[in-house]
Amino acid sequence: MQEQIWQVDLPANHPEYQQVLLKRELPDNPRYTVVMVRLPAILELHKGDTGFTLPAVNDWSKGKLVGLFNFLNPKDGACYMPRLHFHLEGKRRNRPATQGFSLGRMLKKLLGLDRKQSQPATPAFEPYIGFTNGRHRTYYLHHVGVQVIPVETDLDSAKLLQQYCGA
């Protein structure tokens, strides 16, 4: 089977090259597939990952930027596309559905001065995206102006990615 390559176009003013070539890391695994996703949506959902998040690209070291720039250069062939997973069980917040946190309200309630009937807490789940690999590639491509990229993900995550971030 011939390896499938995805071409991601970069802006015309990108130095040295105007495209990046991406390939699957797990092409023979039937539990994984490729989904085209919108980068702004992916990065917004990645903010909810309480694990490892990245600083802004402008804050990266020069060595990191040069290394990534060289890594993505298509003259060396295709690199692996980002691989990520969608999590619905995310960070759970228990708070009243219509109120944010208020220290004053909390103190009144603890001291028995709260005259209002307390509202039941509504569990709120915040979906988030976690990366197996490709965080730096994703952030860099967004930084240079790319809006849509292919990502590799498990079949369960693919449906949710398409729903929340699909291109």
Domain-located, residue 142: yes
Q: What's the pLDDT score for residue 117?
A: 52
Identify the pLDDT of residue 97.
Answer: 41
Confirm whether 106 is domain-assigned.
no
Residue 146 has a pLDDT of 97
The answer to whether residue 136 sits within a structural domain is: yes
Among residues 47, 55, 54, the alpha carbon closest in space to that of 129 is found at 47
What is the number of domains present in the chain? 1
Asked whether residue 99 is domain-assigned, the answer is no
Domain-embedded: residue 115? no
- Is 119 contained in some domain? no
Whole-angstrom distance, CA of residue 129 vs CA of residue 30 = 21
Asked if residue 13 lies in contact with residue 131, where contact means CB atoms within 8 angstroms, the answer is: no
Tell me: pLDDT of 62 over 70: yes
pTM metric for this prediction? 0.76
What does the pLDDT read at residue 167?
85
Domain with 67 in it: 5-91+128-165
In a domain, 102, yes or no: no
Q: Could you give the strand order of the β-sheet that contains 121-133, starting from the edge strand earlier in sequence?
A: 32-38, 148-154, 83-96, 121-133
| 57 located within any domain | yes
Highest mean pLDDT among 18-32, 47-61, 80-94: 18-32
Mean pLDDT, to the nearest integer, of 90-115? 54
